A = this chain, B = another copy of it.
Amino acid sequence: MPKIVDHEQRKIKIAEATWNVIVQDGLEKASVRNIAKEANMSAGSLRHYFSTQSELFAFCMQLVSDRVKNRAAQKSYDGSSLEAMETLLSEFLPIDEDRRTEMEVWLIFSSKTLVDPTLEELSQLIYDEMRQAVSTVVEGLIDIGLARGDLDKQLEIERLYALIDGMAIHGILHPDRFSVKKTQTTLQYHLKALCK
Q: Which residues of A contact B (CB under 8 A)?
A: 23-28, 104, 107-108, 110-116, 123-124, 127-128, 131, 152, 155, 158-159, 161-167, 169-170, 172-174, 176-178, 182, 185-186, 189-190, 193
Contact = CB atoms under 8 A, between A and B. Distances in A.
Given A177-B127, A185-B155, A23 B114 contact: yes
B166 A167 contact: yes
Contact of A182 (B158, B163, B193): B158
A155 B25 contact: no
* Copies of this subunit: 2
Interface-centre pick from A115, A167, A176, A185 (highest chain B CB count, 10 A) = A115
A169 B169 contact: yes
B172 A114 contact: yes
Given A123-B173, A162-B167, A169-B166, A111 B107 contact: yes
A124 B178 contact: no
B104 A169 contact: no
The 4 closest A-B pairs by CB, nearest first: A166-B166, A162-B166, A26-B115, A28-B28
17 contacts: A24-B115, A26-B115, A107-B111, A108-B114, A110-B169, A113-B173, A114-B172, A124-B174, A127-B170, A127-B174, A127-B177, A155-B189, A159-B163, A162-B166, A165-B165, A165-B166, A165-B169
